Structure 1
Amino acid sequence: MNSSVREDCLEAVLTLVQEHQRPVTEREIDEVVEAASSEVTTAVRVLAEEGYLRNEDGGYLLTPPGHDAAEVVLRKHRVLECFLHEMLGMDVGAASKEACILEHAVSDEAIDRLSSYIEDPHGDLPPARRGLRHRRGPRAAACPVGATPNGRRPLLDCSEGETVKVAVIQCIGRNRRLIDLGLIPGREIAVRRKLHNNALVVGVMGADIALSPEVASTIFVERTG
């Protein structure tokens, strides 16, 4: 069985269950995994036999080991997508597709190092990397200070019930937790609640996430569509 299809199926179940809040069918998994239906069927069956998936109400849910394995794959995807988009300037869609390919081959160590690099892209680098940093030049978009580009506004200015798209996160590396939660440029989010202390509760990929005022103030959004 192709290991990449196996990992794609785990990631698909994790994201689909988060989105729909129910068990997901093999057909739904097949619709989002870019592989032959026969490969998806085999992967789902084997994952269930190995204890990574369980049947419930005609669909599939992740078991605790399955959830842990899926989170590893999803984290790789999010870190790679963020790095390709924020640091290398790739289009969000292209970055996501490339991340889907790379996530199956990249090591955990490489992901940890990439995540650390995103956290401090202008810090001290090994000698071999300094030339790369110089050629790339300053990345103002990765860490904008103060200014809000045309059509963009702070997330804190949004009203309850609005659905918007993340445009820029100031110094995204300092908020590494946002990457792990899927809050990255290009992602649609819904403003669920605004609390009295300016904290926000936002919906991201089917999950509700609480953001402190300090973190929310670093996020700038734009209209969807």
Structure 2
Amino acid sequence: MITLSYMCERARPFNQSGWDEHGFLREGPFWPYGLPPAGNANFAWAQHVVRKMSPTGRGALLLPTGAASTTKGAESRIRAALVDADVLSGVVELPAGLIPHVRQVLVIDARDSATNVKRGRRAVPEEARERIAATFAAWRGAPGHAPYEDVPGWCGSLSRDELAETEYDVLPSHHVAAPLVPSVLPDAPERAADLTDELLGLFEVSRRLEDELRDLLGEL
């Protein structure tokens, strides 16, 4: 992850594809540093924010690491033009994982958090509401919160590709199911011995009941 300190007005989402599927923006004064590639909007956003800045404006643009070094024709040429035009003042390469939710969706399954308050009515208690808020804050990387982690049965952070594989099903319960708890089975020989003893005991009870029934029938 890197930050490119361009003279720009605000950060934009990166690695966006299909930014101009209909070709409406391919002509005109939008791209003074070069036409961005159709499949990636990184340098479309970079040029957009540069154009929107005042002559003395400054800002920071968050981009993926590859934007600083890719040798793809269009992106390489635009990067060179930005450097030559002296609008790029600095580049900071950041640690991985600082923004884990970029291009992801947080899902929280809070179905089991409700409590009964009176007949026919349920409510989400304060503790559950705080847990939901804390989970979302951790996912966003808010200060004062532990790093976000997926919790089976509670929450998960899904990429767009993962959602696409499910036809963009975003129902939390379909993605964060609790893990199956493996059942602990006794040792097979020991279990077989227990069942044999139980069966022999039932046979004994059956014979005793049969004898008692014969005695009763003989008295009739």
TM range (shorter): under 0.3
Task: Give the TM-score, by structure 1 length.
Answer: 0.27
Give the number of the structure whose residues are more often helix, by fraction.
1
Task: Give the TM-score, by structure 2 length.
Answer: 0.27
